[in-house]
């Protein structure tokens, strides 16, 4: 009969854990078997989390190093590409528009059409 009364009074493990004081919660665990079993399962989970904590911290540190390396690579890329973009008009004139010396200006023999003369 006592167990039935405890089950009727029990609001569930989560609500008791959140709203009862530590002393009242421990008393409730002594009286309620279902909450005691749930508490044991939660303790196992807590122990697993404590065991995994160093690995999680190590992974977080590696991620921070990776982010810093990516930021550095982006900085290098932009610092090299911005000057190229600022000088794009000069590069266009020199390369695309062929504002380079002609064959005749370079001192090579040419025919009447301006092509390289091959004898």
Higher pLDDT among residues 91 and 41, named by residue: 41
Do 104 and 110 contact (CB within 8 A), yes or no? yes
Q: 66 and 16 in one domain?
A: yes
Q: 58 and 10 in one domain?
A: yes
Domain residues for the domain of 100 are 87-119
Please tell me the pTM assigned to this model.
0.45
Q: 57 and 12 in one domain?
A: yes
Write the CB contacts of 100 (distance below 8 Å, at least 6 apart in sequence). 94
- The conformation of residue 115, written as its DSSP 8-state character, comes to S
pLDDT score at 40: 93
Q: 56 and 14 in one domain?
A: yes
- pLDDT band for position 66 (cuts 50, 70, 90): very high
Distance (Å, whole) CA 39 – CA 17: 9
Q: 17 and 36 in one domain?
A: yes
Report the number of distinct structural domains present in the chain.
2
- pLDDT band for position 7 (cuts 50, 70, 90): very low
């Amino acid at each position: 009969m006592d167990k039935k009364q405890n089950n009727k009074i029990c609001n569930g493990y989560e609500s008791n854990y959140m709203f009862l004081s530590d002393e009242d919660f421990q008393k409730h665990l002594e009286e309620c078997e279902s909450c005691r079993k749930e508490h044991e399962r939660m303790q196992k989970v807590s122990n697993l989390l404590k065991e995994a904590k160093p690995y999680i911290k190590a992974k977080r540190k590696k991620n921070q190093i990776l982010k810093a390396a990516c930021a550095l690579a982006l900085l290098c890329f932009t610092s090299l590409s911005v000057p190229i973009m600022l000088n794009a008009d000069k590069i266009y004139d020199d390369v695309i528009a062929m504002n380079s010396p002609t064959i005749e200006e370079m001192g090579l023999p040419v025919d009447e059409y301006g092509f390289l003369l091959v004898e």
